[in-house]
Chains A and B, each alone.
Chain A
Amino acid sequence: MTDAGNTQPAPADIRPPSQLKPIVWVQRNLFNNWFNSVLTVLALGSIYFIGRAVLEWAFFTADWRPVTHNPILYLVGQYPRDQLWRVGASLLLVSFLTGMSWGKWKGIMRSFALLLGIGLAILGIIPAGGQLGSLAVRIFFLINLPAIYLGYLLGSRKFVTGGLVLAGWLLSFSLIPFLLRGTGEGTMLPTVETSMWGGLLVTLILAVGGILLSFPLGVLLALGRRSSLPVIKLFSIGFIEGIRGVPLVTILFMSSIILALFLPPELRIDRLVRALIGMTIFSAAYTAENVRGGLQAVPAGQIEAAKAVGLNNFQTTLFIVLPQALRAVIPAIVGQFISLFKDTTLVIIVAINELLNIGKSILQSDVEFLQLQFEVFIFVAAVFWVLSYLMSFASRRLETALGVGER
């Protein structure tokens, strides 16, 4: 930015910038002529004044009580406090499997496992009010650290295959909803209706569920759109274009309200499931178009070569076309998933208490919180930023690992 007014050719110093002395670097980059010097001073001045105002607000003016008073509401919403161990157990399962994946695949999973561990450790030791500050909840968080490590040790063993770890993930993703919802009154796991779920728990369920379900659906739709069978092709085109032509809010509203008017009372689909279905089909339509871009980028020669060595259509698609197509569109797909993650806040219009909506509820839980919406929204925004950033960080690591962009 400060190079904008640079009229002089750069001095003939071929050392990389990191080897320059700081004072030389400053001189060369920030104060190399009068115009840049003025810009630098102006920029520093505004950063100082804005930064000071922001920090003063954050540390002295802002009243963070709606955030610190009872942070566990942001995590699980209304989930009954005597059943919290079920959320804890689900988390433990995820931690353990993340650890196993780290042991198995190293690389990017290592960063994931470490970030998860650091995040949970922070949650376990930060000073917090309400139940989050209680010893039991802290232990819940901290116990995940040995779980990750145990998973790592187990995953490093020879006999643990990649398939086994994947099966573990699949199994746990089908198990966790049952664990959270329960098996009915009078049993070990009393039912906790999804209307009681809330906070980050619901945000993550919607995001992870939406991503996991929409990705295979999107790939199928993309393949269907390029299919030579007219019925499949027309259906895929109709689905993709139909869904892409409607805003997500409309889809959520339709799935929650209009659908209920047509279905008989016995066929009532759970409200959270309705929202999840809405988000899934919406995201699948966009993923399908991303994947189609990747499919078109695979040279025809690849398919001809596959045919030449005797692969059938199914094998060609699965082993030759898709790996190359998906590799090419990782950034687009991750972008789509990040936007899906942020779009989970839209379920506010069907009154599901995800992270943002629970923030709004917390504002109404005490007369003294009523005017503190700025603090609450800043906090929620920060949580979303951290999680979205982690996703894009993971995508960049994945691209590097797969060598995308290198030839």
Chain B
Amino acid sequence: MRKFSLPLASLIILAMLLSACGTPSGGEIVEVEVTRIVEVEVTTEGDIQVVNAPGYGEILARVQERGRVVCAGRTDLLGFGYLDDDGRNIGFDIDLCRAVAAAVLGDPEAIEIVPVTAAERGPVIQTGEVDLLSRNVTWTSSRDSQWGNFTITMFYDGQGYMVRADSGIKSQDDMDGASVCVTSGTTTEKNLAADFRERGLDFEAVIFEDTSSVYNAFFEGRCDVTTSDRSQLAAIQAGADNPADYMILPMIISKEPLTPVVPHGDDQWFDIVKLVMYALINAENPAYGPITQATVDDVLASDNIKGKTVLGVEGDWGYSSLGLDADALANALRAVGNYGEVYNRYMGPAGIAFTLPRGLNEHWTDGGLIYAPPIK
């Protein structure tokens, strides 16, 4: 996979010699890389000299120099990226950014969240204006090819239906001829039309420009059904005067794998962000402890080899090749906790945003899709 570039390799070796003699070399960028490679050699004692593609390591160097991870996020989606009473940006997506900052800089507060609109998500990551795009982005093939590298799906969302509990509607088949409240011009509207067409059913769309109007209309009884991503429906249901009057149907009509994205061209940064996500996911596995925010030190003191590996005291989980500290993942877990803790903080039974059963977002040991390669 790695592209070997002979001129670059010779340049690095030359620069190594120069810096070893204590002579400042001309190209600063090369020098930064060299320092890192020398460190690698010291810690791993005689590892193979790797030559990486141009761009490799740029983002980490930039982040460390700046002292902050810049994430594209949002302030206007309950549960994922929103404001608390102190005006702090919080939410599921924001915690993922905090975890990365804790891992690479040791400080979960060393983040800058740049709010972006849906239309800006592509450009900000394409241009490298931000280091990480964590703003409920659905992973699709065209976005993957154009925007950046999609790391690992951290939230499996999907479009669903909400009806009144006493309406007797159990599935789409009961919805023939129903009126459906939906926002205009969104993929939500397209998915709805496709779902009904495939089943040969009719519906009457009641279309509104913004989401709040859609749900107001639904609560006022102007339509029988409303449709949106299930996480949104859960939030809306929780906000109803009497949540028990409404019901989210079990079926899911679209795939919305929400995934953090990094810019194209820097495999090291791609790997770092993925590893942090793997750690959050694996830490929830009972085989690893499980490691929670509170039990990091207990696991360190225990004899759980898997858990101690994640925490960096039982061999190299890859940190030396990535230029990270051994306790990087431990810092991430201390900062935000494991995947289940992050999820439950906002959307668990006692979540501060709303409650949404985990469903597909259960850990794979509990039958969900949240699965990550082992950390070892």
Return B307 CB to nearest CB of chain A, in Å.
34
Which residue of chain B has its CB nearest to the CB of A198? B87
Take A257-B119, A261-B123 as given contacts and tell me if A364 and B215 are in contact as well, using a CB distance cutoff of 8 Å: no
Is A350 within 8 A of B87, CB to CB? no
Q: Interface code B65-104, partner A: CB below 8 Å = 1, 0 otherwise? A: 0010000001111100011111111000000000000000
Q: Is B176 at the interface (CB under 8 A from chain A)? A: no
Return A247 CB to nearest CB of chain B, in Å.
15
Return B80 CB to nearest CB of chain A, in Å.
9
Contact among A185, A271, A366 for B114, CB-based, below 8 A: A271
Docked CA distance A15–B365 (Å)? 92
Which residue of chain B has its CB nearest to the CB of A69? B85
Return B83 CB to nearest CB of chain A, in Å.
5
Is A361 within 8 A of B114, CB to CB? no
Q: Interface code B112-136, partner A: CB below 8 Å = 1, 0 otherwise? A: 1111110110011011110000000
Q: Is B12 at the interface (CB under 8 A from chain A)? A: no
Which residues 348-394 of A have a CB within 8 angstroms of B? 348-353, 357-358, 360-371, 373
Is B123 within 8 A of A350, CB to CB? no
Contact among A260, A349, A357 for B123, CB-based, below 8 A: A260
Docked CA distance A368–B240 (Å)? 7
Return A259 CB to nearest CB of chain B, in Å.
10
Q: Is A144 at the interface (CB under 8 A from chain B)? A: no
Which residues 99-139 of A have a CB within 8 angstroms of B? 130-131
Docked CA distance A193–B236 (Å)? 32
Q: Is A183 at the interface (CB under 8 A from chain B)? A: no
Which residues 202-240 of B have a CB within 8 angstroms of A? 210, 212-213, 215-216, 219, 235-236, 238-239
Please, which residues of chain B bring their CB within 8 A of the CB of A357? 76
Most buried by A among B76, B114, B236, B238: B76
What is the size category of the interface that chain A forms with chain B?
Answer: 35 or more
Please, which residues of chain A bring their CB within 8 A of the CB of B89? 78
Q: Is B353 at the interface (CB under 8 A from chain A)? A: yes
Q: Is A81 at the interface (CB under 8 A from chain B)? A: yes
Please, which residues of chain A bring their CB within 8 A of the CB of B215? 370-371
Is B235 within 8 A of A361, CB to CB? no
Docked CA distance A357–B115 (Å)? 11
Q: Is A77 at the interface (CB under 8 A from chain B)? A: yes
If over half of B's interface residues share one DSSP class (helix, strand or loop), that class is named, otherwise mixed; here it is mixed
Return A183 CB to nearest CB of chain B, in Å.
15
Is A195 within 8 A of B114, CB to CB? yes
Q: Is B354 at the interface (CB under 8 A from chain A)? A: yes
Q: Is A215 at the interface (CB under 8 A from chain B)? A: no
Is A353 within 8 A of B75, CB to CB? yes
What is the size category of the interface that chain B forms with chain A?
Answer: 35 or more
Is B353 within 8 A of A367, CB to CB? yes
Is B67 within 8 A of A373, CB to CB? no
Please, which residues of chain A bring their CB within 8 A of the CB of B78? 364-367, 370
Docked CA distance A69–B354 (Å)? 19
Please, which residues of chain A bring their CB within 8 A of the CB of B82? 361, 364-365
Contact among B76, B112, B120 for A350, CB-based, below 8 A: B120
Which residue of chain A has its CB nearest to the CB of B235? A367
Q: Is A11 at the interface (CB under 8 A from chain B)? A: no
Contact among A77, A257, A361, A367 for B120, CB-based, below 8 A: A257
Please, which residues of chain B bring their CB within 8 A of the CB of A196? 112
Is B235 within 8 A of A370, CB to CB? yes
Which residue of chain B has its CB nearest to the CB of A362? B83
Return B195 CB to nearest CB of chain A, in Å.
25
Q: Is A265 at the interface (CB under 8 A from chain B)? A: yes
Is B114 within 8 A of A81, CB to CB? no
Is A361 within 8 A of B212, CB to CB? no
Please, which residues of chain B bring their CB within 8 A of the CB of A257? 119-120, 123
Interface residue ranges, B against A (CB under 8 Å): 67, 74-78, 82-89, 112-117, 119-120, 123-124, 126-129, 210, 212-213, 215-216, 219, 235-236, 238-239, 353-354
7 closest A-B pairs by beta carbon, nearest first, are: A367-B239, A370-B239, A373-B212, A367-B238, A78-B87, A361-B75, A351-B115
Q: A351-B114, A361-B82, A361-B83 are in contact. List 4 more A-B contacts (CB 8 A).
A: A78-B83, A351-B116, A364-B82, A367-B235
